[in-house]
Amino acid sequence: MQPLLKLCGNHSADDTVLALMSTTDYVGFVFAESKRQVTREQLKMWLINQEKKEKNFVALFVNETPEFIKAAIADLPIDIIQCHGNETVKQIAEIKKVTSLPVWKAIHHNNEALQEMKTYQGLVDGYIVDCKVGNQWGGTGVSFDWAYIPAYLNEGRKQEVPVFIAGGIRPDNIDRVLSYQPDGIDVSSGIEENGKKCNKLIRQLEERMNRI
């Protein structure tokens, strides 16, 4: 079964159009402070007269309050909230209550990450396993040790929720990630040239995924 695909970090009208034209299942937007940060007003403008084409929109936040998240996505066609910081079980439960949306939790690879995943069992609706570099929560283009992927996938299957693999995935190395048969792939910097989403790289990524 072909993994799901999420194109994240879209931060311009052009990025958004490319994502909507692609075969991706999820289109991600970063509301947290970063070089790919977007605002509610920008996103609303970019999505005017654009068809979703059965894609799901994901809004990424880092350690934000439920009230901030609710206000940020007001009147936007957001389908999923992605919590990419160190949000607690209590905070995520409140976010779900306030927004009435599914929540995905980012897990940053380290020695305690699997144990951390277990604490969210029965609460979150999916996981993004990523690599944290310094003060940056994601989108760095840096990979974690992919030998650990099976352990994360096994935990996700125990919880009966999908696990997406993120961090440094590009068209030229995606085959190795796909060999582990993840539920999903999450790509941001790996499909960019000069800080913009690149149609050629997106097509290359799609071609390699379609070989499965």
Q: What are phi and psi of 108, to 5 degrees?
A: -95, 120
pLDDT of residue 142: 61
Q: Are 169 and 185 in contact, with CB atoms under 8 Å apart?
A: yes
State residue 141's pLDDT score: 52
Confidence (pLDDT) at 133: 47
Q: What is the pLDDT along the chain (212 residues), one digit of tens a residue?
A: 789 999 999 999 999 999 999 999 999 999 999 899 999 999 999 998 777 778 999 999 999 999 999 999 999 999 999 999 999 999 999 999 999 999 999 999 998 999 999 999 999 999 999 875 444 444 445 678 899 999 999 999 999 999 999 988 999 999 999 999 999 999 999 999 999 999 999 999 999 998 76
User: Angle 13-21/199-209 helices, nearest 10 degrees?
Assistant: 30
Q: Which of 137, 144, 119, 120 is nearest to 60 (CA)?
A: 137
Which pLDDT belongs to residue 204? 96
- Domain locations in the chain as residue ranges: 4-209
Report the Cα–Cα distance between both ends of the chain, in Å, rounded: 8
Give yes or no for a contact between 128 and 186, defined as CB atoms under 8 angstroms apart: yes
DSSP label at residue 107:
E
Q: What is the pTM of this model?
A: 0.92
Superfamily classification of domain 4-209: Aldolase class I (3.20.20.70)
